[in-house]
Every structure is written in C-alpha cells, then in structure tokens.
C-alpha cells in the first residue's frame, strides 16, 4: 500500500472488508474524508486517509457511536473517557437484561410450583444484584468451610430448609469435606452464564476441590449442592 498514492473506493472496501455504503455514510457524518478524482468524481483515498478510516473502524468495533467518534476528533473527549463511557453503557444493559432473566426465572418457578402467576405481584419480588450474590456466596462458602451452619441457614430459603434440615446438612458437609482433606484456599466465585440466579464457589482442599452450587430464588438460597473436582 505504501507504493499506492491513491486507492479507489472499491479496492479499499475489499481490503478493509467493508462496504462503499458504510464509507459514504461515515463521510456524510464527517468522521472520515476522501479525495475526488477531478474528472470522474470517483472517491479515492490517500495513505493518511486510509489509516484514519482504519482507526475509525477500530473504534466502531469497540462499540463507540458516530457521535462519540466525532467528539473524539473534535477533542471534546479523550479516548479513555469514551471507552469507559461505552463500557458503563454495556454494564448497565447487562444488569437490566440480568434483571429480566431473574424475573422470568421467578415467573417459571411460580408456574412450576402450581401457583397462579397472576395472583402474584412480580414487582414485589426481591431481586439481588450480581455483587450481592457474590457477597452472600462468599459468606456461605466461609460458613460451609468452618462448619458455621447457623450463619449459612440465615440465607437458606424455607423450602430448602424444610427438605434439608440443619442437622442433615451438617452430616452431608462432614462426609463431603472429610474426603476432600484439609482446607487450602477459596479459589473463585462464578455466576452461571445462562442462569444468573445460579452461582458456583470453588474451594481447594488438600486431596481434591469442592465446587459448591448455589441456586437463588427470590433472594434466598433455594438449592445447594457440593461436588468434587480434580486439583490442577
């Protein structure tokens, strides 16, 4: 490309894997420019213009809007600020979508329990955020490791507590952790990618790891499983 003084729009589109319509739109919005052939009026591009177009396409790939890119070019904002702003927008969108998923999970749980969905006010359901899930799971993981069942059961829902009384859980915990060996370290807490109300806590012991699965319903732990995993 260094040997080419001017590149036609069709050739540029092939090289950048874009369309002439996109380039014309960007030019119309004032974020890129072209050079016109004085006779044919065909759009041609210099090396500097092509580099600039590549930069604009990189910013678009990051999700920055035409307006944000225009403001960057006018020096009204800096690149880091624009990227942070875009990331915040995405996080807000994810949080809203997670809330919608939680609402759907709650609706399904109500239907599966045999209740009438329309007898319940879904707006009154107590939703918790991902960070709140993590705090609860961290506290409950510590309680399971140390055998502090009273603390754990402060977060257990009534349905699970009726199926698994505290004494029953203490027996299961003792048998499970005895096989795993001595406690080594809490490794990680992970939210399920498909079901935000499911959170996993991974704990390393001397002989093997224990993966604790927490299932939340209406802000309480409604399911709890302890499984082994091999240490790496």
Q: Which of 27, 25, 45 is nearest to 35 (CA)?
A: 45
144, two tokens: 């399971």
Query: What pLDDT score was predicted for residue 126?
Result: 53
pLDDT per residue as tens digits for the range 3-21: 457 899 999 999 999 999 9
Q: How confident is the model at residue 128 (pLDDT cuts 50, 70, 90)?
A: low
> Is residue 191 a contact partner of residue 174, using CB atoms and an 8 Å limit?
no
Range of the domain at 120: 92-124
Q: How confident is the model at residue 203 (pLDDT cuts 50, 70, 90)?
A: very high
Q: How many residues does the chain have?
A: 232
DSSP three-state, residue 84: helix
169 and 144 assigned to the same domain: yes
Output the average pLDDT for the chain: 86
User: Is 181 contained in some domain?
Assistant: yes
DSSP three-state, residue 212: strand
Crossing angle between the packed helical segments 47-61 and 9-16, to the nearest 10 degrees: 40
User: Is 197 contained in some domain?
Assistant: yes
Q: Which of 205, 188, 73 is nearest to 138 (CA)?
A: 188
CATH number at residue 145: 3.10.450.50
User: Is 87 contained in some domain?
Assistant: no
Number of domains in the chain: 3
175 and 190 assigned to the same domain: yes
Instruction: Answer yes or no: pTM beyond 0.75.
Output: no
User: Is 86 contained in some domain?
Assistant: no
Higher pLDDT, 216 or 101: 216
CATH number at residue 68: 1.10.1660.10
d(CA 134, CA 148): 18
196, two tokens: 């935000």
> Is residue 35 a contact partner of residue 44, using CB atoms and an 8 Å limit?
yes
């Amino acid at each position: 490309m260094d040997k080419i003084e001017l590149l036609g729009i069709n050739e540029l589109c092939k090289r950048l894997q874009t369309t002439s319509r996109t380039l014309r739109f960007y030019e119309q919005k004032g974020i890129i420019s072209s050079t016109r052939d004085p006779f044919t009026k065909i759009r041609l591009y210099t090396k500097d213009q092509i580099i600039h177009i590549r930069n604009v396409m990189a910013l678009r790939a990051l999700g920055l809007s035409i307006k944000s890119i225009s403001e960057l070019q006018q020096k009204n904002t800096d690149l880091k600020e624009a990227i942070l702003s875009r990331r915040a927008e995405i996080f807000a969108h994810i949080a809203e979508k997670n809330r919608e998923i939680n609402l759907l999970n709650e609706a399904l749980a109500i239907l599966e329990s045999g209740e009438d969905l329309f007898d319940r006010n879904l707006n009154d359901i107590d939703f918790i955020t991902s960070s709140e899930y993590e705090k609860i799971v961290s506290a409950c993981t510590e309680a399971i490791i140390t055998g502090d069942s009273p603390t754990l059961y402060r977060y257990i829902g009534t349905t699970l507590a009726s199926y698994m009384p505290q004494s029953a859980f203490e027996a299961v915990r003792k048998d499970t952790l005895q096989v795993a060996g001595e406690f080594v370290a809490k490794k990680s807490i992970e939210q399920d990618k498909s079901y935000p109300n499911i959170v996993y806590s991974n704990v390393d012991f001397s002989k093997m790891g224990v993966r604790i699965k927490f299932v939340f319903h209406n802000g309480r732990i409604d399911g709890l499983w302890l499984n082994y995993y091999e240490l790496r």
